[in-house]
Amino acid sequence: MRVVSALSRTRSEVRLVLAAALALTITALAAKPAAAVPAFAVQTGQPCQACHVGGFGPQLTPAGRAFKLHGYTTRMGGFNVPLSAMAVASYVNTRKDQDPPPAPGFNGNNNVAIDQVSLFLAGGFGQHLGAFFQATWDGIAHKFAWDNLDVRAVTNLDIKGADVLLGASLNNSPTVSDAWNTTPAWGFPYTGSDLAPSPSASPLISDALAQNTLGLTGYALINQAWYVEGGAYWSPKAVTLDRLGVDPTDPGSIHGLAPYGRFAWQHNFGKHAFEAGAFGMHSEIYPGRDKSTGETDNYTDLGLDVSDQYVRDNSDVITFNARYIHERQKLKATFLLGGADHEKNPLQDIRADVSYYWRNKVGATIQAFDTWGSADEILMADNRTFKPDSNGVMLQLDGTPWGDGKGPLGPRFNMRVGVQYTLYGKYNGARSDFDGAGANASDNDTLRVFTWLAF
């Protein structure tokens, strides 16, 4: 009876997801005002540059943030097709060959791949409802999965003379609902490849729960200045996630609900659009969905962020983004399972980037990043110091020739080409011989050349 009941609940959950997707599709095809990623330009009657720094997503301008917070509902004109597609391809070279290779079927170095191909259904459905749904084929893992989801309901109220925007978001990744490019979901780098090496430690809120959770948050924007958001996330059934193309055991399942909160203040100082805020989340996780110990791993992530965007008279854009995250870990379940030497393992992460976009088309970005924490001989057994410490600098040059909507295939077509270079000062605990076998942090220095197409 329990097996039958579980199967019934799973089928119901899958039917609910499929019904929601079908309802969105039917609504989108029936409604006049609807569009998706590059098609947002058609929906709003504005080129991509109006909402995105450099004329390509996901870094938002103040107009782009307003569009998102208002539930993707702003529109001009008549019917447009609410579908879009995106593809990213890369060439990746590391200073020394990766051993073993970064993925099955690839070489230890000098790899070329289609990183991902995504389909989008998004847009505003009337004045109060909007959605952004992405499904992605992973060209490295060769599998299809659901990706970012953000379904919104919004309304505007006048409360004792205050202009109040109220909204709700159903989404599948903590911070994906955020409108600033300072939180993990939309922070720099805005594109990457799984063929590039990356440090083994990062805060849980930094994408570890992306696509394997569902969350419902409510938010308010008061007088276009004060923003507050609150809600909670939970874990769908393992079978549901598996059918959606997601590993249900990584990192595990949430016990009950994981509360999430966000606060931000924004203000224009002349030509500067400034923001400062804080965000946080508390998660109790059964690691790998293992409940045998009766205990959970508890993560409390608290973050601070700041952003400033300056537009010159000649349309050049200068942006500064920064965030700091302190994560308090109490890994009681992992400790009892023999996966950690200590129950408490604090972790800290700080990132800051500055970009300059000439005529809002050709850009240069530099980011400094640093992650550090306490030593654990079991949790970080793959490095000599047993510490999670990694730091370095990433540089990116890119160009977007048709962000002004004057592309050869019309306003829906957009393209960005770019080159990234990542230099590591520390990697998984040390600058030199980090693995105890002679590998240095600089061995992972990575050159990536990419093409990013959207239609």
- Three-state DSSP at 434 gives coil
If one counts every other C-beta atom within 10 angstroms of the C-beta of residue 392, the result is 21
Quick one: CATH architecture of 2-454?
Answer: Beta Barrel (2.40)
Is the bond preceding 251 in cis, omega lying within 30 degrees of 0? Answer: yes
At 391 the pLDDT is: 98
10: left (phi over 0), alpha (psi -120 to 50) or beta: alpha
Q: Residues 414, 402: contact at Cβ < 8 Å? A: yes
Residues 6 or more apart from 27 whose CB is under 8 A from it?
34, 125
Q: Residues 192, 72: contact at Cβ < 8 Å? A: no
The pair of structure tokens assigned to 196 is 């590039």
At 43 the pLDDT is: 74
At 80 the pLDDT is: 66
Task: Read off the amino acid at residue 229.
Answer: E
> Rounded to two decimals, what is the model's pTM?
0.90
At 88 the pLDDT is: 97
Q: Residues 92, 119: contact at Cβ < 8 Å? A: no
Q: Residues 39, 82: contact at Cβ < 8 Å? A: yes
Q: Residues 305, 278: contact at Cβ < 8 Å? A: yes
Q: Domain residues of the chain, as ranges?
A: 2-454
| Torsion sign (Cα): 438, 439, 440, 442 | positive
Q: What is the mean pLDDT of each run of 10 residues along the chain (455 residues)?
A: 36 40 34 43 80 92 95 78 88 97 97 96 86 94 96 96 97 97 97 96 96 98 98 98 97 98 97 98 98 98 98 96 98 97 96 97 98 96 95 98 86 92 98 96 98 94
At 96 the pLDDT is: 98
In angstroms, the CA 243 to CA 196 distance is 27
Query: DSSP characters for 394-410?
Result: EEEEEE-TTTTS--TT-
At 244 the pLDDT is: 97
